[in-house]
């Protein structure tokens, strides 16, 4: 049984969402429309240049929020199965609590200290954490430095 749910990620005041490369541990930001653009084949880390699926760049807080929602959904599903399984039984009575309402977590993007970079190759803008910005910046869209 497949269940889907959405997790809302709040952008910063400029409309950017924080991302994190697990390969080089650097943080960067992209705009919501750029993140949602599914036409490109992967996304290049602006710091190390490695190409990965966009989902690999979501920060740990997104995974934690997803695990919370999944656990709540699983608990409700287990309670429903018990109710259905033993509802007609004369010998076994199952009392289950009311199903929990599924939380709608919001993940907030840190403001932090980020430097903006205009990417002439693709006419886009990104931000890289100031502490991790170096001399070379790779375009997340085409991979050029």
Whether 143 and 44 have beta carbons less than 8 Å apart is answered as: yes
Q: Give the pTM.
A: 0.73
Domain residues of the chain, as ranges? 8-67+105-132
Burial status of residue 57 (CB atoms within 10 A of its CB: 0-12, 13-18, 19 or more): buried
Average pLDDT over residues 49-77: 85
- Asked whether residue 14 carries a pLDDT value surpassing 70, the answer given is yes
What pLDDT was estimated at residue 108?
66
What pLDDT was estimated at residue 109?
67
**Helix (DSSP H) and strand (DSSP E) numbers for the chain:** 2, 8
- Asked whether residue 89 carries a pLDDT value surpassing 80, the answer given is no
């Amino acid at each position: 049984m497949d269940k889907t749910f959405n997790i809302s990620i709040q952008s910063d005041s400029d409309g950017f969402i924080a991302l994190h490369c697990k390969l080089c541990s650097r943080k960067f930001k992209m705009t919501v429309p750029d993140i949602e653009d599914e036409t490109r084949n992967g996304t290049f880390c602006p710091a190390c240049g490695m190409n990965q699926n966009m989902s690999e760049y979501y920060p740990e807080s997104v995974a934690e929020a997803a695990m919370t929602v999944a656990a709540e959904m699983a608990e409700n599903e287990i309670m429903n199965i018990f109710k259905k399984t033993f509802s007609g039984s004369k010998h076994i009575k199952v009392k289950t609590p009311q199903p929990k309402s599924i939380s709608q977590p919001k993940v907030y993007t840190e403001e932090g200290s980020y430097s903006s970079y205009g990417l002439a190759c693709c006419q886009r803008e990104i931000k890289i954490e100031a502490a991790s910005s170096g001399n070379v910046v790779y375009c997340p869209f085409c991979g050029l430095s």
